[in-house]
């Protein structure tokens, strides 16, 4: 269901304090998203790639994830240069490709890839439970965190229930086709899934109430920064300052 | 028996699901301190509903519930009940909602007001008692069915209850886990009510059996020895059991 192919590893980045990784990835993403100058954007993409390298992740798996997002960006390349107003670069029949449109697409592509890669390098390199714990320690709203953790806990259970329903349909000879009967069957399956999920939610709530749940969750994990974490934070701060100066001081 | 020794005392409990037939009908049931009671009955006879009523998850249409000598009726009363009586759910996936094993076991003790260190210590001790030492950092959904069941029991026992309600604890377990469960239950100094359909399991875990039918407890039946079919290697040749 949810695979976490990057969550475990022994690279420096895997061993960093998760709170530090979340903070850095978030700050970095904001800066990249708000930057507009190409030197800053190119530098960000290079840095993201460098950090992916340092996390020693499986290149093929990273490429597959990145390709998924770039599929969406491809659509922007097909539409934006033709529809964005500005100085025409060249004409395609009745349509004209504008310089501003192309630049906008280039910015979007650079930004989204840099941000995606930094999240792969820094956030997907920890298990989701650790992510939840670190968010808790960073004092993010408890409701959000427990929404994340409970979803993570039950998405597998609900998937199993779905698989059971599909198997039950299959052993009675159901084969998906483009017919109204197929659509109806899938609608039944989904409906059944919702019914079961809501019944399960009620039972889980009962279980929580039985153990004295009063709306509060507790986190038992402790994180303590090591010397390496401090060294890395200095490195991260210099990355952030570097990007900021590329964007706003116009050194290049 | 002495009335002071009553842990659970139900009198004339009725329960009707909205728009349905009555599930419980003027039911009476007593659990005394130190007693290990088995509850049997056909599917749909209201056994699980009865447990939910004792824990205050469902409210009876009529009748009186007395737990540890006090009449309970409102949510506030039941909050106290839940601290002292533990319910083991039929499906471990319902009971285990935390991402990691340690958090799940510590959830109850923390809600009882224990400090984080105390909760951690109680949890580790409980896990060890159930043969789950070293599991504390495991991700809950990756555990096997048997491990999940033992862990569910750990989450209940960590609250140090005075009585347990066990809803088909042996359901779907392999023989080894079942043996482990029997060993743990016999080692506990706790009173409990246990629902099961397995005569074997019942004979090893309870002292008294009640039968439930049509929303009523019928009569007390003493636990009885019995013959049953079983299978093992070379079982087809005449042999003796010891």
Residue B242 has pLDDT above 80, yes or no: no
Nearest residue of A to residue B109, measured between CA atoms? A211
Instruction: Identify all chain A residues contacting B94, using CB atoms and an 8 Å cutoff.
Output: 200, 203-204, 206-207
pLDDT value for B220: 54
Instruction: Identify all chain B residues contacting A198, using CB atoms and an 8 Å cutoff.
Output: none
Q: How far apart are CA B87 and CA A215, in angstroms?
A: 20
Q: How far apart are CA B14 and CA B28, in angstroms?
A: 10
Shared domain check, A38 and A88: yes
Instruction: Identify all chain B residues contacting A157, using CB atoms and an 8 Å cutoff.
Output: 93, 141
Is the separation of the CB atoms in B170 and B201 below 8 Å?
A: yes
Shared domain check, A114 and A229: yes
- Which of helix, strand or coil describes residue B114? coil
Query: What mean pLDDT comes out for the span B209-236?
Result: 71
Across the interface, do A220 and B89 touch by the CB < 8 Å criterion?
no
Query: What mean pLDDT comes out for the span A19-48?
Result: 94
Alpha-helical segments (H) within B55-213:
75-84, 92-95, 101-111, 116-129, 145-157, 175-187, 199-205
Across the interface, do B57 and A206 touch by the CB < 8 Å criterion?
yes
Q: How far is A155 from chain B (nearest CA, A)?
A: 10
Across the interface, do B97 and A157 touch by the CB < 8 Å criterion?
no
Whether the CB of A206 is below 8 Å from some CB of chain B: the reply is yes
Residue B225 has pLDDT above 50, yes or no: no
- By residue range, what is the domain housing residue A197? 135-210
Across the interface, do B57 and A220 touch by the CB < 8 Å criterion?
no
Residues 91-130 of B with CB under 8 A from A: 91, 93-100, 102-103, 106-108, 110-112, 116, 119-120
Residue A16: exposure state from Cβ atoms within 10 A (0-12, 13-18, ≥19): buried
Optimal mutation site among A157, A200, A210, interface B, most CBs of chain B within 10 A: A210
What pLDDT digit, counting tens, does each position of B169-218 carry?
Answer: 998 899 999 999 999 999 988 999 999 988 888 888 998 888 888 888 87
Whether the CB of A152 is below 8 Å from some CB of chain B: the reply is yes
Query: What mean pLDDT comes out for the span A167-185?
Result: 88
Shared domain check, A205 and A122: no
User: Which pairing describes strands B6-16 and B22-32: parallel, antiparallel, or unpaired?
Assistant: antiparallel
Q: Which of B21-30, B79-88, B225-234 bottoms out in mean pLDDT, i.e. has the lowest?
A: B225-234
Shared domain check, A150 and A80: no
pLDDT value for A30: 96
Q: How far apart are CA B33 and CA B14, in angstroms?
A: 25
Inter-chain contacts counted by CB atoms under 8 A, chains A and B: 76
Instruction: Identify all chain A residues contacting B119, using CB atoms and an 8 Å cutoff.
Output: 218, 220
**What are the CB-based long-range contacts (under 8 Å, 24+) for B55-61?**
B55/A206, B55/A210, B55/B81, B55/B82, B55/B85, B55/B87, B55/B165, B56/B81, B56/B82, B57/A206, B57/A209, B57/A210, B58/B15, B60/B13, B60/B14, B60/B15, B60/B24, B61/B14, B61/B15, B61/B16
Across the interface, do B99 and A218 touch by the CB < 8 Å criterion?
no
Nearest residue of A to residue B78, measured between CA atoms? A210
Q: What residues does each domain of chain B span?
A: 8-19+27-222
For residue A230, tell me if it sits in a domain: yes
Across the interface, do B99 and A149 touch by the CB < 8 Å criterion?
yes
Q: How far apart are CA B58 and CA A25, in angstroms?
A: 47
Per-residue confidence band for B4, with pLDDT thresholds at 50, 70 and 90 = confident
Q: How far is A163 from chain B (nearest CA, A)?
A: 16
Shared domain check, A96 and A139: no
The 3 state secondary structure assigned to chain A is CCCCCCCCCCCHHHHCCHHHHHHHHHHHHHHHHHCCCHHHHHHHHHHHHHHHHHCCCCHHHHHHHHHHHHHHHHHHHHHHHHHCCCCEEEEECCEEEEHHHHHHHHHHHHHHHHHHHHHHHHCCCCCHHHHHHHHHHCCCCHHHHHHHHHHHHHHHHHHHHHHHHHHHHHCCCCCCCCCHHHHHHHHHHHHHHHHHHHHHHHHHHHHHHHCCCCCCCCCCCCCCCCHHHHHHHHHHHHHHHHHHHHHHCCCC
What pLDDT digit, counting tens, does each position of A67-89 carry?
Answer: 999 999 999 999 888 888 888 88
Q: How far is B104 from chain A (nearest CA, A)?
A: 10
Residue B228 has pLDDT above 70, yes or no: no
Per-residue confidence band for A4, with pLDDT thresholds at 50, 70 and 90 = confident
Is the separation of the CB atoms in A129 and B140 below 8 Å?
A: no
For residue A169, tell me if it sits in a domain: yes
Q: How far is A119 from chain B (nearest CA, A)?
A: 22
For residue A6, tell me if it sits in a domain: no
Neighbour-count burial for A217-229, b at 16+ CB within 10 Å, e otherwise: bebbbeeeeeeeb
pLDDT value for A221: 83
pLDDT value for B8: 94
Closest-CA residue to B84 (of B95, B97, B69):
B69
Residues 124-143 of A with CB under 8 A from B: 127-129, 132
Count up the domains in chain A and report the number. Answer: 2
Shared domain check, A234 and A161: no
What pLDDT digit, counting tens, does each position of A87-118 carry?
Answer: 888 888 888 888 899 999 999 999 999 999 99
For residue A7, tell me if it sits in a domain: no
Is the separation of the CB atoms in A237 and B137 below 8 Å?
A: no
Q: Which two tokens stand for residue B108?
A: 């109850």
Per-residue confidence band for B38, with pLDDT thresholds at 50, 70 and 90 = very high
What pLDDT digit, counting tens, does each position of A120-138 carry?
Answer: 999 999 999 999 999 999 9
Shared domain check, A154 and A31: no
Q: How far apart are CA B194 and CA A50, in angstroms?
A: 60
Whether the CB of B65 is below 8 Å from some CB of chain A: the reply is no
Q: How far is A220 from chain B (nearest CA, A)?
A: 7
Q: How far is B156 from chain A (nearest CA, A)?
A: 8
Instruction: Identify all chain A residues contacting B89, using CB atoms and an 8 Å cutoff.
Output: 203, 206-207
Shared domain check, A76 and A139: no
DSSP labels, B142-186 = GS-HHHHHHHHHHHHHTT--SEEEEESTTTT--HHHHHHHHHHHH
What pLDDT digit, counting tens, does each position of B136-179 carry?
Answer: 899 898 899 999 999 999 999 999 999 999 999 998 899 999 99
pLDDT value for B156: 95
Q: How far apart are CA A200 and CA A219, in angstroms?
A: 24
Per-residue confidence band for A1, with pLDDT thresholds at 50, 70 and 90 = low
Shared domain check, A118 and A242: yes
Shared domain check, A106 and A48: yes
More confident residue, B239 or B51: B51
Shared domain check, A92 and A74: yes
Across the interface, do B98 and A153 touch by the CB < 8 Å criterion?
yes
Residue B239 has pLDDT above 80, yes or no: no
Shared domain check, A148 and A118: no
CATH number, domain B8-19+27-222: 3.40.50.300
Per-residue confidence band for A216, with pLDDT thresholds at 50, 70 and 90 = confident
Per-residue confidence band for A237, with pLDDT thresholds at 50, 70 and 90 = very high
Whether the CB of A8 is below 8 Å from some CB of chain B: the reply is no
In percent, the amount of chain B with pLDDT more than 90 equals 64
Q: Which two tokens stand for residue A164?
A: 């059971």
Q: How far apart are CA B211 and CA A209, in angstroms?
A: 28
Nearest residue of B to residue A149, measured between CA atoms? B99
Residue B119 has pLDDT above 90, yes or no: yes
Per-residue confidence band for B241, with pLDDT thresholds at 50, 70 and 90 = low
Residues 6+ apart with CB under 8 A from A69: A112, A113, A116
């Amino acid at each position: 269901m949810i695979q976490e192919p990057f969550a475990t590893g022994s690279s420096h980045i895997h061993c960093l304090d998760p709170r530090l990784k979340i903070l850095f990835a978030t700050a970095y993403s904001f800066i990249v998203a708000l930057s507009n100058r190409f030197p800053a954007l190119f530098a960000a993409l290079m840095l993201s790639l460098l950090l992916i390298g340092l996390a020693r992740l499986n290149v093929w798996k990273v490429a597959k994830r990145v390709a998924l997002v770039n599929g969406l960006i491809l659509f922007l390349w097909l539409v934006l240069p033709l529809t964005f107003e500005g100085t025409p670069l060249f004409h395609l029949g009745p349509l004209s490709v504008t310089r501003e449109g192309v630049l906008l697409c280039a910015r979007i592509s650079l930004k989204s890839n840099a941000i995606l890669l930094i999240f792969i390098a820094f956030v997907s390199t920890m298990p989701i439970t650790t992510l939840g714990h670190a968010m808790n320690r960073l004092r993010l709203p408890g409701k959000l965190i427990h929404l994340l953790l409970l979803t993570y806990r039950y998405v597998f259970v609900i998937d199993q229930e779905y698989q059971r329903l599909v198997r039950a349909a299959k052993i009675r000879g159901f084969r998906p086709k483009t017919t109204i009967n197929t659509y109806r069957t899938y609608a039944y399956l989904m409906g059944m899934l919702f019914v079961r999920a809501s019944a399960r939610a009620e039972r889980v709530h009962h279980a929580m109430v039985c153990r004295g749940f009063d709306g509060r969750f507790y986190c038992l994990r402790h994180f303590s920064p090591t010397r390496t974490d401090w060294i890395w934070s200095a490195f991260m701060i210099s990355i952030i300052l570097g990007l900021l100066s590329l964007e706003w001081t116009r050194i290049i | 028996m002495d009335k002071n020794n009553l842990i659970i005392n139900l009198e004339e409990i009725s329960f009707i699901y909205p728009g349905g037939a009555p599930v419980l009908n003027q039911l009476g049931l007593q659990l005394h301190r130190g007693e290990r009671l088995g509850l049997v009955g056909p599917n749909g006879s209201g056994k699980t509903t009865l447990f939910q009523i004792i824990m205050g998850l469902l409210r009876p249409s009529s009748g009186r519930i007395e737990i540890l000598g006090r009449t309970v009726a409102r949510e506030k009363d039941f909050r106290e009940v839940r601290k002292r009586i533990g319910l083991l759910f039929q499906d471990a996936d319902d009971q285990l909602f935390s991402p990691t094993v340690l958090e799940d076991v510590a959830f109850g003790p923390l809600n009882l007001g224990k400090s984080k260190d105390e909760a951690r210590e109680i949890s580790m001790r409980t896990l060890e008692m159930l043969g789950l030492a070293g599991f504390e950092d495991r991700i809950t959904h990756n555990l096997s069915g048997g491990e999940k069941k033992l862990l569910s029991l750990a989450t209940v026992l960590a609250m140090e209850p005075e009585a347990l309600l066990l809803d088909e604890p042996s359901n779907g377990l392999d023989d080894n886990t079942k043996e482990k469960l029997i060993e743990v239950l016999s080692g506990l100094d706790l009173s409990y009510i246990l629902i099961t359909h397995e005569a074997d399991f019942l004979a090893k875990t309870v002292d008294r059996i009640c039968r439930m039918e049509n929303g009523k407890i019928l009569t007390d039946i003493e636990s009885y020895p019995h013959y049953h079919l079983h299978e093992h290697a070379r079982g087809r040749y005449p042999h003796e059991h010891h």
